[in-house]
């Protein structure tokens, strides 16, 4: 067995000048009976199993508070060193959504016509997608998720963030789940490349757009691809 005392002592020496970590009791936790846990787990799975991605949004307004709550829920995600490197920009302004759509469709047309490989086109074919993105102007809200690649101190120097992609990915999943839970729909849209979004939305050079998420009600005639999710046996391996 490797003797870890040396590295541990070095770590203690390097952090000795820092304030002692502050801890509080685990809040609001109550151990539930297993039967109740199973009921909750099954109910949540059933609800999320009904979640589908649609590109057909109604233009009906959605209260801002619902978007705020979805973002706050996403902000409960764990993150590397608790840097919380997610930044959400929520857009309801019709003109700004129009400009985002125009710029997105320009990039997407280039992607579909010249950048996309035959293998990529084949993979997307069952989804019926193309460069036209009407959901960006139909949905009452468009939320753009940025990853803060590094932080900025008051003096302008850089502060390293850790496990940014993983942290932001977890936050995105919680956002999608929150939107579905409240009875709305969303779409995880990744125009490529996405640098134009940083410019359009006035974000800093330390941020990178990773997802565009229209949020709203589905249109009465909304359609989705006829797809099936993988079974448990295909996505999990248990080692009893």
Inside any domain, residue 230: no
Inside any domain, residue 126: yes
Does residue 106 have a pLDDT over 70? yes
Inside any domain, residue 93: yes
Name which of 2-11, 61-70, 91-100, 148-157 the model is least confident about: 2-11
- Structural domains of the chain, count: 1
Inside any domain, residue 33: no
How does residue 115 score in pLDDT terms, banded at 50, 70 and 90? confident
Give the 3-state secondary structure of residue 152: strand
pLDDT, tens only, 34-46: 999 999 999 999 9
202 burial (CB, 10 Å; 0-12 / 13-18 / 19+) is exposed
Does residue 93 have a pLDDT over 80? yes
> 98: domain CATH number?
3.40.109.10
Does residue 1 have a pLDDT over 80? no
The radius of gyration of the chain's CA atoms, rounded to the nearest angstrom, is: 22
Give the 3-state secondary structure of residue 124: helix
pTM of the model: 0.92
- Name the region of 202 (left: φ>0; alpha: ψ -120 to 50; beta: rest): left
Please calculate the CA angle 152-144-151 and round it to the nearest 5 degrees. Answer: 10
Inside any domain, residue 88: yes
In this predicted structure, what is the pLDDT of residue 2?
56
Inside any domain, residue 10: no
Q: Range of 214's domain?
A: 55-218
Inside any domain, residue 153: yes
Going by C-alpha positions, the residue among 92, 56, 88 that lies closest to residue 69 is 88
Cβ 53 vs Cβ 190: under 8 Å: no
Inside any domain, residue 143: yes
Which residues neighbour 223 within 8 Å (Cβ) at sequence distance 6 or greater? 54, 56
Average pLDDT, the chain: 94
């Amino acid at each position: 067995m490797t003797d870890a005392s040396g590295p541990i002592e070095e770590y203690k020496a390097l952090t000795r000048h820092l304030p002692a970590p502050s801890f509080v009791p685990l809040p609001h936790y109550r151990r539930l009976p297993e039967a109740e846990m199973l009921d909750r787990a099954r109910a949540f799975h059933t609800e999320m199993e009904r979640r589908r991605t649609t590109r057909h949004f109604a233009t009906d307004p959605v209260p801002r508070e619902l978007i705020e709550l979805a973002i706050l829920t996403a902000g409960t995600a764990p993150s590397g060193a608790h840097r919380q490197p997610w930044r959400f920009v929520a857009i309801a302004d019709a003109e700004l959504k129009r400009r985002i759509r125009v710029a997105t469709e320009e990039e997407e047309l280039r992607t579909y016509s010249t950048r996309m490989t035959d293998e990529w086109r084949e993979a997307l074919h069952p989804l019926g997608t193309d460069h036209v993105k009407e959901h960006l102007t139909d949905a009452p809200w468009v939320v753009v998720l940025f990853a803060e690649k590094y932080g900025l101190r008051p003096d302008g120097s850089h502060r390293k963030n850790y496990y940014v992609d993983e942290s932001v990915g977890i936050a995105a999943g919680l956002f999608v789940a929150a939107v579905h839970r409240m009875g709305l729909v969303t779409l995880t849209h990744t125009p490529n490349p996405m640098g134009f979004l940083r410019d359009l939305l006035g974000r800093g050079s330390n941020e990178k757009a990773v997802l565009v998420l229209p949020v709203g009600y589905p249109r009465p005639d909304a359609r989705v691809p006829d797809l099936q999710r993988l079974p448990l046996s295909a996505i999990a391996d248990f080692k009893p």
